């Protein structure tokens, strides 16, 4: 066991409006279990003594308690109500976290992360000198910088800006993003800024130096019905007899 307590803050307080379902996407079924449960179980199986803070929409806290009770999901969780944006949700959770821990902030809708990545990241965080660790994946598509223009007919068209992007320098940031809790709590005491698109951007504004590691293609965020269909295919390929996993 390492020097630090390990804490998972699992973000599940979004309304999931892009999915078009009647319940938020984090509660939808993925091969027999809610997406959120799968995410939490993967962290607990990677780090059995991890402490879990689950951030939920205020109006779904009762629903989640009831689900856990009636489905024998016994993992101890501190349930916290989310806020108006993800930033406010993370801030609410950090108020409940002690100063001397390593905190992993993870989107509840990224259930396909491997236990290997979780363990490797916590191990690196225990090394001296690392204050924040962010998993990233290289950009596979060629990137275009386009301008949106609305025609007099009201139709929106995309136009070439003439700018080129060097794809080899562009990466997509995933979660979990890991921090020393003292650092990230201080960073989240800053006023909200619309440029805060992830926890790393909040930390960077506070001057915390960021380290990076390789993320995983399967660790994608389930946002749309297509993503959910993809996640279902991935899980069934992992659990199919003879798949070796």
Residues that bind ligand C5P in the complex, under the rule CB under 6 A: 11-14, 26, 55, 82-83, 85-86, 89, 107-109, 221, 223
Q: How many CA atoms lie within 13 A of 68 on its CB side?
A: 18
> 108 vs 181, which CB is nearer to ligand C5P?
108
Shortest gap between Cβ of 61 and ligand C5P (angstroms)?
13
What DSSP assignment string belongs to 90-114?
A: HHHHHTTS-SSEEEEEEETT-TT--
Burial class of residue 166 (count of CB atoms within 10 Å of its CB; 0-12, 13-18, 19+): exposed
Smallest gap from residue 83 Cβ to ligand C5P (A): 6
d(CA 58, CA 145): 39
Residue 28 C-beta-side C-alpha neighbours within 13 Å: 23
3-state secondary structure of 172: strand
**Closest CB 16 distance from ligand C5P, rounded Å:** 7
Name the residue number minimizing CB distance to ligand C5P: 14
130 or 228, CB closer to ligand C5P?
Answer: 228
Closer to ligand C5P by Cβ: residue 7 or 130: 7
- CB closer to ligand C5P, 4 vs 81: 81
Quote the least distance from Cβ 160 to ligand C5P, whole Å. 29
**Closest distance between ligand C5P and the C-beta of residue 153, in Å?**
32
Q: Copy the structure tokens of residue 23.
A: 């319940």
As a whole number of angstroms, the distance between CA 170 and CA 237 comes to 30
Question: Which is nearer to ligand C5P, 85 or 190 (by Cβ)?
Answer: 85
């Amino acid at each position: 066991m390492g020097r630090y307590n390990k804490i998972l803050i699992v973000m599940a307080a979004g309304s999931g409006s892009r999915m078009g379902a009647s319940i938020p996407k984090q509660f939808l079924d993925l091969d027999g279990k809610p997406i959120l449960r799968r995410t939490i179980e993967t962290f607990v199986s990677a780090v059995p003594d991890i402490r879990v803070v689950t951030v939920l929409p205020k109006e779904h806290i009762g629903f989640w308690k009831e689900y856990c009770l009636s489905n024998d999901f016994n993992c101890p969780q501190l349930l916290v109500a989310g806020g108006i944006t993800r930033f406010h949700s993370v801030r609410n959770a950090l108020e409940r976290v002690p100063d001397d821990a390593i905190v992993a902030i993870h989107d509840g809708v990224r259930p396909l992360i491997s236990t290997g990545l979780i363990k490797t990241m916590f191990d690196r965080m225990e090394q001296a000198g690392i204050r924040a660790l962010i998993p990233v994946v290289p950009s596979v598509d060629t990137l275009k910088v386009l301008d949106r223009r609305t025609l007099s007919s009201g139709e929106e068209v995309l136009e070439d800006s003439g700018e080129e992007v060097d794809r080899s320098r562009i990466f997509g940031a995933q979660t979990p993003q890991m921090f020393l809790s003292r650092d990230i709590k201080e960073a989240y005491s800053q006023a909200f800024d619309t440029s805060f698109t992830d926890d790393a951007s909040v930390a960077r504004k506070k001057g915390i130096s960021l380290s990076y590691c390789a993320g995983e293609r399967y660790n994608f965020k389930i946002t749309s019905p297509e993503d959910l269909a993809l996640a279902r295919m991935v899980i069934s390929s992992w659990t199919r007899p003879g798949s070796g996993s």
